[in-house]
Amino acid sequence: MMLKIYLLIIKKNENTEELILIKKESIEKEKRYMLTIDGSNDALWEWDLENNNVFVSEKWTSITGYIINKDMDFIGFIKGLIHEDDISNVCNNFNNYNDGKVTCYQTEFRIRTKNDNYKWLFVRAKGLQNEENKIIRLAGSITDITYRKEIEEEIKHKAYYDALTNLPNKILVMDIITNRIKEFKHNKKQGAIIFLDLDDFKKINDTSGHHYGDQLLKIIAEILKISFDEKDTVGRFGGDEFLIIMNDIKSKEDVILKCDILIDMFKKTFEIGERNVHTSASMGITIFPRDSDDINKLLINADAAMYKAKDNGKNKYCFFDEKISNELKRKSEIEKNLRQAINEHELEIYYQPQVDSNKKTIVGVEALLRWNSKESGSVSPYEFIPIAEETGLINNIGEWVIKNVCKQIKLWELNCKILMKVSINVSTVQLQDERFVEKIKQIVSLNDVDSRLIEFEITETSLMNNIDKGIDILNELKSSGFSIALDDFGTGYSSLKYLKTLPIDNLKIDKSFVDNITINKKDEEMAKGIIQLAHNMNLNVIVEGVETKEQYDLMKNMKSDIIQGYYFSRPVPPKEIEKMILIENKFI
Ligand code: C2E
Ligand code: CA
Ligand code: CA
């Protein structure tokens, strides 16, 4: 190209000496130019669009393996080699340049090389226009970007695929769902999202180690992949959660068919190394866009349905339906209103007497939350406490309870001369707060309350999450003067082994136990045994949920120390407690 320019100058010049000089200079320049071309990592090219003549430097051959023949239709030849998925991109980029939307022609595409594999090329060029603004000449470079693309692919893979199972990760799965929602809405098709959560996987991890757990996850990933069709997507959502997108389903039956197969498979054991392990899965299913066209709502639906499946006894599947939908609405309404409950002064604490079983006098009270919501009416703690735990609101609420109990203890002490012992319920979530004990001590000392007047009720289940840490917290509380009761005994693990290791003062036998005692002789014997055992360990026994005289007599005869229940009193406002104690502290 440059050579041509110099020849042009030569023609114009009449002086021969000058001509030789220029010729020499031009040859030098051409040599340098060719050196640049040869030395460049890129292939250089020029396309004369008017004659369809193409010049490409030799580097082209080393990139692609093809030798250029002067007479061949190079552009036509190259078009036949471009990957079909990239052709439209190449053309669009050219049109954009031709239309003046961009200042330089740039495009990336794959080309089939002589060796029959694909290489990625980056082409860059600028053009020369004629008077009618039509491009008549294009010139630029061709770079082999295969290596860069491979690295990019690897980075992309890492960002979108789970390293352990090689399944699409949460980001990619969410992306796919978003696209499918749009597509199916438009095409009037249906898809299903299956939210699959392994049952008791934590136990396997805890007992056999993380490496073993990882092996199991890999096996499950493989099984899921082969259980679904090519058109479906199986992804890992995190931990032991998988998400399956079934595309273009005709009816619910398509999904049921697959889920039944999975349920059957999870009945068998999996072989890992020398050992066999058993796990099962609970699945929640939502159909889209029927149930919703909002990805977040769909995931909430599937998650709620999955929890229903777990509640129904695990290794089951459950479709999202109107009932679950209403439960979700109620839950989100409660969550919304609960956030304002403290500020709106909607919370109250009632107190239920704990009665000495022989003397029938009040020896303490249990603080029980009451919530009278302006929006939702009176809501049972059985309903709002789990929601408060799930959302973390229990931390604030729990602190509010401790503060208010302290104030009440002080009021009783100062105004009524009553030293009342109060039991406060503590949730698992509160125990996970690193500063839990510190906060309690601060509140109690700020209110100048004797810590011996406060007992904390903790359930066995909440301690089981991290038994060592749980024991540390209990010891800390005890060394500060507080006492501890193990709540709901008889509903959870009811492990007698743990009972020995826990630093507790009182054992609260759950109402469900009491309910059975009067009808079941075996349960009666068991209760007797537990009470004896507790006494041997120097623990007091509190029986809760005693509603009838018959139950009271039975429990008294079994030597339980303290009785709590409707038989004596329901939980009542503090004024009522005052009356009970001040008038005559004795139940008949
Ligand atoms: P819980 O700690 O097992 O409390 C005993 C529950 O049994 C209370 O229900 C009480 O009103 C009820 N109860 C007592 N005696 C009888 C009886 O004779 N018959 C019947 N049918 N029920 C009886 P409540 O007040 O509805 O509280 C339910 C649960 O909510 C509590 O169970 C506790 O787990 C939780 N809770 C209540 N207040 C708090 C709190 O301040 N913090 C935390 N974390 N949880 C609380
Ligand atoms: Ca309790
Ligand atoms: Ca209880």
> Do residues 331 and 354 lie in contact, with contact meaning Cβ atoms separated by under 8 Å?
no
Q: What is the per-residue pLDDT for 73?
A: 87
The neighbour count for residue 545, using CB atoms within 10 Å, is 18
The 10s digit of each residue's pLDDT in 416-447 is: 999 999 999 999 999 999 999 999 999 999 99
65 CB less than 6 Å from ligand 1?
A: no
Q: Let me know: does 269 contact 282? Beta carbons within 8 Å.
A: no
Chain-centroid distance, C-alpha 232: 21
What is the per-residue pLDDT for 106?
A: 96
Cβ(169) – ligand 1 distance below 6 Å? no
The response to whether residue 547 sits with its C-beta less than 6 Å from ligand 1 reads: yes
Task: Please give the C-alpha separations between residue 523 and each of 17, 516, 526, 528, 564, in angstroms, as whole numbers.
Answer: 123, 7, 5, 8, 19
**236-258: pLDDT as tens digits:** 999 999 999 999 999 999 999 99
Closest ligand (CA of 364): 2
Identity (one letter) of the amino acid at 420?
M
CA of residue 362 to ligand 3 center, whole Å = 18
Kindly tell me if the per-residue pLDDT of 489 is higher than 50.
yes
- CA-closest residue to ligand 1 atom 23: 545
Instruction: Identify whether the C-beta of residue 566 lies closer than 8 Å to the C-beta of residue 353.
Output: no
Average pLDDT over residues 396-407: 98
Tens of pLDDT, residues 319-342: 999 999 999 999 999 999 999 999
| CA-proximal residue: ligand 1, atom 15 (nearest) | 565
216: CB partners within 8 A, 6+ apart: 201, 204, 270, 272, 277, 279
> Which tokens is 304 given?
């709620």
pLDDT score for 11: 40
Mutate to test the pocket of ligand 1, among 365, 368, 436, 461 (most ligand atoms within 8 A of CB): 368
Tell me which ligand sits closest to the C-alpha of residue 427.
1
Cβ–Cβ < 8 Å for 173, 241? no
For residue 566 and ligand 1, the question of a CB distance below 6 A is answered with yes
CA-nearest residue for atom 21, ligand 1, is 545
Other residues' Cβ atoms within 10 Å of the Cβ of residue 223: 14
Exposure on the CB side of residue 135, measured as CA atoms within 13 A: 21
Mean local confidence (pLDDT), 548-555: 94
Model confidence pLDDT, tens digit, residues 128-146? 988 888 889 999 999 999 9
Question: Kind and range of the H or E element at 280?
Answer: strand 280-288
The rounded Å distance from CA 202 to ligand 3 centre is 26
Closest residue CA from atom 24 of ligand 1: 381
What is the Cα–Cα distance from 199 to 194, expressed in whole angstroms?
Answer: 15
- Atom 32 of ligand 1, residue of closest alpha carbon: 382
Could you tell me if 44 and 56 are in contact, meaning their C-beta atoms sit under 8 angstroms apart? yes
**DSSP alpha helices (H): ranges in 188-287?**
201-208, 210-227, 252-265
Question: What would the mean pLDDT of 506-524 be, rounded to a whole number?
Answer: 87
Using DSSP's 3-state secondary structure scheme, residue 467 falls into: helix
Supply φ then ψ for residue 352, to 5 degrees: -110, 125
Cα–Cα distance between 383 and 388 in angstroms, integer? 9
CB 385 less than 6 A from any atom of ligand 1: yes
Name the DSSP class of 284. E
Q: How far is the CA of 75 from the centre of ligand 3 (A)?
A: 82
Ligand 1 pocket check: which of 348, 372, 385 to mutate, most ligand atoms within 8 Å of Cβ? 385
**pLDDT value at residue 13:** 44
CB 227 within 8 A of CB 258: yes
Ligand in nearest proximity to the CA of 354: 1
Atom of ligand 1 nearest to the CA of 388: 44
pTM of the shown model: 0.71
pLDDT digits (tens, 9 = 90+) for 272-318: 888 899 999 999 999 999 999 999 999 999 999 999 999 999 999 99
Taking CA atoms only, the protein residue closest to ligand 1 atom 30 is 381
The mean pLDDT of the chain is: 91
**Cβ(71) to ligand 1 under 6 A?**
no
Closest CA to 122 of 100, 147, 103: 147
- Measured over the CA atoms of residue 402, residue 403, residue 407 and residue 408, the dihedral's sign is negative
What pLDDT digit, counting tens, does each position of 138-176 carry?
999 999 999 999 999 999 999 999 999 999 999 999 999
Confidence of residue 4 (pLDDT cuts 50, 70, 90): very low
C-beta of residue 309 within 8 angstroms of C-beta of residue 316 = yes
Q: What is the pLDDT, as a whole number, of residue 433?
A: 92
- φ, ψ of residue 65 in degrees (nearest 5): 90, -10
> b/e per residue, 174-197, with b = 16+ CB within 10 A?
bebbeebbeebeeeeebbbbbbbb
The amino acid at 150: E
Stated as kind and residue range, the H or E segment containing 198 is strand 191-199
Evaluate if residue 9 carries a pLDDT over 60. no
Q: What angle do CA 387, 390, 396 make, to 5 degrees?
A: 80
Ligand 2 centre to CA of 368 (Å) is 8
Kindly state if the Cβ of 389 falls inside 6 Å of ligand 1: no
Ligand 1 contact via 401 beta carbon (within 6 Å): yes
41-57: average pLDDT: 90
Nearest-5° angle of CA 12, CA 14, CA 18?
Answer: 100
Nearest atom in ligand 1 to 394's CA = 44
Q: Which atom of ligand 1 has the smallest separation from the CA of 564?
A: 15
Mean pLDDT value across residues 2-21 = 45
% of the chain residues with pLDDT over 70: 94
Nearest ligand to residue 509 Cα: 3
- Return the best residue to mutate from 425, 457, 576 for the ligand 1 pocket (most ligand atoms within 8 A of CB): 425
Residue 185's Cα: distance from chain center in Å?
26
Atom of ligand 1 nearest to the CA of 350: 25
Residue nearest (by alpha carbon) to ligand 1 atom 4:
368
Copy the structure tokens of residue 517: 């005692």
Q: Mean pLDDT throughout 50-66?
A: 92
Q: From the CA of 148, how far away is ligand 3's center (Å)? A: 63
Write the secondary structure of 294-324 as one string of H (helix), E (strand) and C (coil): CHHHHHHHHHHHHHHHHHCCCCCEEECCHHH
State the amino acid at position 438 in one-letter form.
E
C-beta of 488 in contact with ligand 1 (< 6 A):
yes
CA of 502 to the centre of ligand 1 (A): 23
